[in-house]
Homo-oligomer: A and B are copies of this chain.
Amino acid sequence: MTDPGTSLERRLRAIEDRLQIYNLIASHPPSADTGAAAYAEAVYSEDGVFDRGADLPGWSGNKGIGANLQSPGHQAAIAGGLAHFTGLPHVTVDGDMAVVISYLQILAPKKSGEAVEVPNHGASRGYHIHRVVANRWDLVRAPSGWKIKRRTSRLVDGSEGSREILRGALAEYA
């Protein structure tokens, strides 16, 4: 009944792939906001790439991507209240490859300005949405689970880079 050749097994596996990938993507913000190098080393392939575009540095290799999370700059961002926030991603699985298109907000508590009171929810200066980025995650199936081969992220600011990424979620409608 679990012969990979059966339609039933194929359907179940496709579903389980989707759910594994949802958890992989949901783990990213916690890893970024705690500086978890072990996550990056485990989920990126050895030659994995994280490409943030021309305006920010990128990294190659799972160890380099993990090391960035331990850098003084990233640790300072965490100490300041860095928060990554991801919405519902679009996921396409095709055999041993998968593509995820997701939006991500990068937030930080405001350091100045007046505190606002919301009844039953205390007072707060609130948060600054520092960046809104479109992400494309190219995944490959490995014996230990799905691995990130390449993450490409681009700021949503009216330039073409983010739109090119976002169209990856619309391939079936082209």
Name A's B-contacting residues (CB within 8 A): 1-2, 6-8, 11-12, 15-16, 18-19, 22-23, 25-27, 29-31, 33-34, 36, 38-39, 42-43, 55-56, 68, 71, 73-74, 76-92, 101, 103, 105-109, 111, 116, 118-122, 124, 126-132, 134, 156-158, 162-163, 166-170, 173-174
Q: Which chain B residues lie closer than 8 Å to A158 at the CB level?
A: 78-81, 109
Q: Which chain B residues lie closer than 8 Å to A78 at the CB level?
A: 158, 163
Q: Which chain B residues lie closer than 8 Å to A103 at the CB level?
A: 29, 83-86
Do residues B121 and A33 form an inter-chain contact, with CB atoms below 8 A?
no
Q: What CA separation (Å) do A78 and B85 show in the bound complex?
A: 22
Do residues A106 and B121 form an inter-chain contact, with CB atoms below 8 A?
yes
Q: What CA separation (Å) do A29 and B87 show in the bound complex?
A: 10
Minimum CB distance partner of A74 in chain B? B120
